[in-house]
Chain A
Amino acid sequence: ETGVTQTPRHLVMGMTNKKSLKCEQHLGHNAMYWYKQSAKKPLELMFVYNFKEQTENNSVPSRFSPECPNSSHLFLHLHTLQPEDSALYLCASSRGTAFSGNTIYFGEGSWLTVV
């Protein structure tokens, strides 16, 4: 139990569907992240939020839309995805972005399959 909870753990969606991934952290952290883990690429940072404000968008296609209503919750809204978007999506949090030594804690991930 890392203190970062992701739902759903598994999701299958069609290319025309709209779905959302949810992440909640119980650590009192101020920064939250979305990462993508696919079989053939290293872990990729997608988005960074610090105190609810987006501070980084790592050239992610607009079919992925993040939302951070408060420091404890982070969503990833999905629409018109492609099969190559099938991957494990990992949410993470850290105390902040000011000190590089702050540990980033990960959730268990949401396995997404696009059919």
Chain B
Amino acid sequence: GDSVTQMEGPVTLSEEAFLTINCTYTATGYPSLFWYVQYPGEGLQLLLKATKADDKGSNKGFEATYRKETTSFHLEKGSVQVSDSAVYFCALRRSSGGGADGLTFGKGTHLIIQP
């Protein structure tokens, strides 16, 4: 079945540091890939997405590129802020006709940014 693997953390960085959160996936067909963010006490918010190979999703300074050859979708940000502290989830959605709908999530990466 489909699966998503990401580092769980917590990942602790200083403000203005460079961030990478690794995400790899296993899926049949050509899934779409997503990063969601969850702030304390809240639901999930879409951060960015990519729907085909080599697409780059970007939002709020975060970027991720859909790499089919390495089945990866790593999240990066050049300079993190304290307000980026949250839990980040990598997820995939199977391509149409692939059977089950909905998102398959990784376990989430807890990011802590220190001033």
Q: List the interface of chain A (C-beta within 8 A of B).
A: 2, 4, 6, 31, 33, 35, 42-43, 45, 48, 50, 55-56, 58, 90, 97-109
Which residues of the partner chain A approach B34 to less than 8 Å between Cβ atoms? 103-104
A89 to chain B, nearest CB (A): 10
Residue of B with least CB distance to A88: B43
Q: Is the CB of B94 within 8 A of A106?
A: no
Residue of B43, B51, B96, B104 most packed against chain A (CB within 10 A): B43
Which residues of the partner chain A approach B98 to less than 8 Å between Cβ atoms? 100
B44 proximal to A (CB < 8 A): yes
Which residues of the partner chain B approach A35 to less than 8 Å between Cβ atoms? 102
Which residues of the partner chain A approach B104 to less than 8 Å between Cβ atoms? 45
Q: Is the CB of B101 within 8 A of A101?
A: no
Which residues of the partner chain A approach B103 to less than 8 Å between Cβ atoms? 43, 45, 104
Q: Is the CB of B43 within 8 A of A56?
A: no
Q: List the interface of chain B (C-beta within 8 A of A).
A: 30-32, 34, 36, 42-46, 49, 51, 89, 93-96, 98, 100-108
- Cβ contact of B96, chosen from A31, A33, A98, cutoff 8 A: A98
Q: Is the CB of A105 within 8 A of B46?
A: yes
Q: Is the CB of B107 within 8 A of A104?
A: no
> Can you sample 24 A-B contacts with CB below 8 Å?
A6-B43, A42-B105, A43-B44, A43-B105, A45-B104, A48-B100, A48-B101, A55-B101, A56-B100, A56-B101, A56-B102, A58-B100, A90-B43, A97-B96, A99-B96, A100-B30, A100-B51, A101-B51, A104-B34, A104-B46, A104-B103, A106-B36, A106-B43, A109-B43
Q: How far is the CA of A6 from the CA of B44 in the complex (A)?
A: 13
Q: Is the CB of A50 within 8 A of B105?
A: no
Q: Is the CB of B101 within 8 A of A2?
A: no
Q: Is the CB of B102 within 8 A of A45?
A: yes
Which residues of the partner chain A approach B31 to less than 8 Å between Cβ atoms? 100
Which residues of the partner chain A approach B102 to less than 8 Å between Cβ atoms? 33, 35, 45, 48, 56, 104
